[in-house]
Structure 1
Amino acid sequence: MQQHCMRGYGFRYLPHLSAEHIDAVVTTGREYDSRRYGISDRATAAGRGYHLSQEPPGTRGPQPATALSVPEREVLSGRAPDGRKLTTSVRNKTVPHGGCAGEAERTVHFGAVDEVQQGYDLVARLRREMSERSRSDPRVTAVNKKWSTCMRTAGFSYRDPDAAVDDPRWDLRSAAPSRAEIAVAAADISCKLRTNLLGVNFAVEAEYENAAIGDHSRELDAVRAHRDAEAERLPRLMRRYDRAP
């Protein structure tokens, strides 16, 4: 939608955006989310250590927003360089409120942009807060200690699984993990399975999240209703904007 809108002002926005790139970004996001309590798969540990999966060869991302020209940024955001609302037309066309990005949001959210954003902000806040609370829960700290003891038996000294991932010896941006990283990751998985660290973390966090859901049922019901309405509209929008202009 943003591409089509920008095209109306003579700009070729995100020229290298492709289904392959979007799929790679979504896959990486899902993999990152799957590591809420660290890595949990032996095959992943043996092959990639703590590294995320590599993008498929030839996947090319679009240019970053910082590479856009000033006029492009103005049309995309609907704001002048000083942050004020854009009041001048571009190529004899009025720029929509919030620019092309704002127009796309209103189309997807059926005009209820602020309400939808508040709901998503609430979900993100609750998820973050419940995660923080669960991490300091005595049941979680106790299983972390068991995991740490198990790791020491294997010859590695880490306070908890996060410390193993954050070991400064690992260059997680490199193409491949070191043998030392793979060795630690393999021991990490073994100790998680031996102590049931994953199960304890999941159960404790779920307990906190269920309580939060009960406390915010009305707001979360509204979030679900908006999500369901968007899911019904998206197939129609995808057919309309299925190809870049």
Structure 2
Amino acid sequence: MAEPPVHAERNAFRRRTAWLTALSAGALTATLLVSGCGGAPSRPPAAPGPVATPTPATTANLRLPLNAYLPTPEDQATGEYLVYRVQQHCMRGFGFRYLPHLSSDYIATTVATWREYESRRYGISDRAIAAERGYHLAEAPGGTRAPQIANALPLPEREALSGRTADGRATSTPVRGKLVPRDGCAGQAERTVHADGGEAARRGNDLVARLRHEAFERSRPDPRIAAVNRSWSSCMRGKGFTYRDPAAALEDSRWDLRGARPSREEIAVATADISCKLRVNLLGVNFAVEAEYENAAIRDHAPELEKVRTHNASDTARLPRLMQRYDRVPRPS
């Protein structure tokens, strides 16, 4: 995902990236960590306490403890959709037909994308998906789901959206006879949907992303993870496949994960992968161990996380009213 070039859209992009990273901070998305999420904790982390080990058939419905300090996928997608809708309404006020194909389908398709990422926290975990697509992700849904490329817009439209001139200065002259709001329609949309323009949400998501990444990394060398990986590897050898752990199966150089369709061998390995995960309860063990480390992080950062939870609740409470007002195509001015 590339950063939108419009200055006023950067906060939205960073908030979404931090949220996705926090939601799915496993091997699939570790490279998405935003700057500021790394670094060692300021004090020795608390020791993890025991968590009961579930026996799930998939990780899709598991919720790690730090998820409580993130918006739900539905709320996150609804907030993003509303930001785009408010941008659209604002741009219509200047006479521009911006995001012509935007619809509320954006919410469902975005949630489905995040759910699939979350279900792969410890590698693939859905037997039906593995049988159909192997290790391939679902194709991105079609249609206009994100802002049009701002640099490709005509200059007046770009200025109205970003509030910036071609050389990056704040716009000071009217566009089509109308004053441009601070940071353009993109900035106005952020302030409308998020009470503080999204800064608190970004900081909160950054914090949760860092804590979840640290908990994930601390859980990897845990002896219980090593033991269940060995059991999984032994099971896979019994099926004719040699991999040290699920990450090695996913990263097999024979798979063309950018291609349209998986090979038969990829599907065979992926279905065996899930079968062995379920046989040795790899998903449940990984979840329980990581949850222990997340609970320790919550104890270490309780006051900060409670502020994040309070802010998220405030932002979420605004969504129904905003949907009622903006969930429609704006009429021509």
What is the alpha-carbon distance in structure 2 between the residues aligned to residue 33 and residue 69 of structure 1? 38
Distance 1:203 1:119, change over 3 A: same
Q: TM-score normalised to the size of structure 1? A: 0.88
What is the alpha-carbon distance in structure 1 between the residues aligned to residue 180 and residue 311 of structure 2? 27
Partners of 1:50 and 1:185 within 8 A in 2: yes
What is the alpha-carbon distance in structure 2 between the residues aligned to residue 185 and residue 192 of structure 1? 11
More helix by share: 1
- Report the CA distance between 1:21 and its aligned residue: 3.9
What is the alpha-carbon distance in structure 1 between the residues aligned to residue 135 and residue 125 of structure 2? 10
Letter in structure 2 aligned against 1:35: R
Residues 63-109 of structure 1: per-residue CA shift (max 9 Å, x gap): 44454344333322223344333333322322222222221111122
* 1:138 paired to 2:203: no
Distance 1:233 1:174, change over 3 A: same
Taking the TM superposition and a 5 Å limit, the aligned residue runs for 1:1-245 are 1-54=86-139, 59-62=142-145, 63-111=148-196, 113-245=198-330
Residues 126-183 of structure 1: per-residue CA shift (max 9 Å, x gap): 1222222222333223322322232223222223212212223223343332211110
The alignment partner of 2:313 has SS state of: helix
- Report the CA distance between 1:5 and its aligned residue: 1.0
Relative to structure 2, which stretch is displaced further, 225-234 or 173-182?
Answer: 173-182
Partners of 2:163 and 2:181 within 8 A in 1: yes
The alignment partner of 1:73 has SS state of: helix
Structure 1 stretches lacking a partner, 5+ long: none
Letter in structure 2 aligned against 1:215: D
How big is the alpha-carbon RMSD for the aligned residues of Structure 1 and Structure 2?
2.1
Higher relative contact order (CA 8 A, sep 6+): 2
Structure 2 stretches lacking a partner, 5+ long: 1-85
Relative to structure 2, which stretch is displaced further, 14-23 or 34-43?
Answer: 14-23
Letter in structure 1 aligned against 2:267: I
Distance 1:140 1:8, change over 3 A: same
The alignment partner of 2:237 has SS state of: helix
Identity over aligned residues, as a percent?
67
Distance 1:82 1:203, change over 3 A: farther
Relative to structure 2, which stretch is displaced further, 41-50 or 233-242?
Answer: 41-50
Letter in structure 2 aligned against 1:29: W
